[in-house]
Structure 1
Amino acid sequence: KLDWPLHKTICKTFTTLPSRSSPSHKLAILFPVDLKDPQLIWIECERQVDDDDGVAWEMPNTEQPLEIENLDPKYQHARDFKSIQRNVLRGFNLSYTVKVICRETFLIDGSMPNVCVRYTTKGQMTHDWRGPIVVMREPDMGVDPLFYEDIRASDFRVAIDYYLSYGR
């Protein structure tokens, strides 16, 4: 019940979400840089295979949602994948991984402060989050889970708590 306002915020975008383009598209949460409310979006996860050992994994194509205006070309492909496997703020471990995907260089590449993160944390975030941010879900734990699955409403709370506790 305490999370009802957060749940309502993310679920209201579900009604306008286009249908899944292909099985390789996974549901994700976008924290846009210039809007108060997060959005549900589809991210294509491209299957890759390691040439040496034949291990398959998925790479989410987040270039378009992470684009910013007037970006220096040398920063174009700089992405950071932050793994969450424990909700530090609430003191419990997850049985899966939530990935926060952002521009690795957002503090120096001209990215604007993220209005959505500021609004959803009521200004209480502990870091200067900038640029658009995508949140995704991997069903496994470990150092580097290999595949993605659709985000769930409960993962929104995990992301918010991460923004509130990052760097503490």
Structure 2
Amino acid sequence: MDRASDFEQYYFRAAPNPPPLERDDHCAVCNKYPARQCTQCRNCSYCSTECQSVDFASHKLLCKQLITLRPSPTPEHKRAIFFPENEINPRIIWVKCTADSMDDVYYEWVDVSPYLGNQKPGKFYAPRNNYHVSLIARDNLLSDGSSNNKSIIATAGPSMACPLSFRGPMVAIREVDYDTYCDISLADFRCRSEYLRCYGIPASAMPTISRGTQPEPTAE
């Protein structure tokens, strides 16, 4: 099977003018503006000490990692977050996003094989105002013998509705208009944590989600 068939889910139509990204100077917790950046990583903003306290437990997992992260190896590499299957803490990584086209369809292919292996990947999407925070996982994660992802469960916390739905290693990245990938931020990490906690909850029982997020209970 050729590469195009193997990674069909990464073929997206290119948008000539991608929509503007949601401003990261809004509060990561309540979306108020203006908000002040974290004085350490400067990659996530809060409007008050109360909101910063709400996010502290998850933010501290990656704040120092971001400060010491090595520069991107190439312009094609985008910042992402790796959720190991058998470790508690997620890690910030660089993943290579290769631009290509076929039959006038333009797309970027994300190489997550160093982290997920060579199995066909699928996605969970956490929508935000103008883009998605995409969680890439093995497509057959429920039947390939993968165990529950410890770092996903630790990140979401004890209120996670469906921990058994997330198995095997996973990678989160910011995806714009289904065709372009950008560096993930720690505000996106907050969005991803909310998504994980609410995944599988019926819409009628869904709590209020900040920053325009709304879980979509399917993997592609």
Same fold (TM over 0.5): yes
Query: Identity, % of aligned pairs?
Result: 34
**1:47: how far off?**
1.0
The yes-or-no answer on 1:138 pairing with 2:175 is yes
- Mapped to 2, the partners of 1:163 and 1:152 lie a distance apart of 17
SS at match of 1:13: helix
* 2:153 aligned partner: 118
SS at match of 2:127: strand
Amino acid corresponding to residue 82 of structure 1 in structure 2: F
* 2:106 aligned partner: 56
Q: What do the CA deviations read for 1:3-28 (whole angstroms, capped 9, x no partner)?
A: 12222211122244232110000000
Amino acid corresponding to residue 63 of structure 1 in structure 2: S
Amino acid corresponding to residue 70 of structure 2 in structure 1: P
The yes-or-no answer on 1:24 pairing with 2:76 is yes
Amino acid corresponding to residue 122 of structure 2 in structure 1: D
- Mapped to 2, the partners of 1:14 and 1:96 lie a distance apart of 22
Q: In structure 1, which of residues 88, 97, 109 is the aligned counterpart of residue 132 of structure 2?
A: 97
Q: Which runs of 5+ in 2 are unaligned?
A: 1-51, 202-220
- What TM-score, normalized to structure 2? 0.63
CA RMSD of aligned residues (A): 1.5
* 1:42 aligned partner: 94
8 Å contact from structure 1 (residues 118, 124) kept in 2: no
Q: In structure 1, which of residues 84, 96, 100 is the aligned counterpart of residue 126 of structure 2?
A: 84
SS at match of 2:61: helix
* 1:70 aligned partner: none
Question: Larger C-alpha radius of gyration, 1 or 2?
Answer: 2
**1:107: how far off?**
1.3
**1:126: how far off?**
2.4
SS at match of 1:124: coil
- Mapped to 1, the partners of 2:62 and 2:135 lie a distance apart of 16
SS at match of 2:136: strand
- What TM-score, normalized to structure 1? 0.81
SS at match of 2:153: helix
- Mapped to 2, the partners of 1:130 and 1:138 lie a distance apart of 22
Q: Which runs of 5+ in 1 are unaligned?
A: 68-75, 87-93
57-66 or 123-132: bigger deviation: 123-132
Alpha carbons of 1:35 and 1:16: their partners in 2 closer, same or farther (altered >3 Å)?
Answer: farther
* 1:158 aligned partner: 191
**1:123: how far off?**
3.2
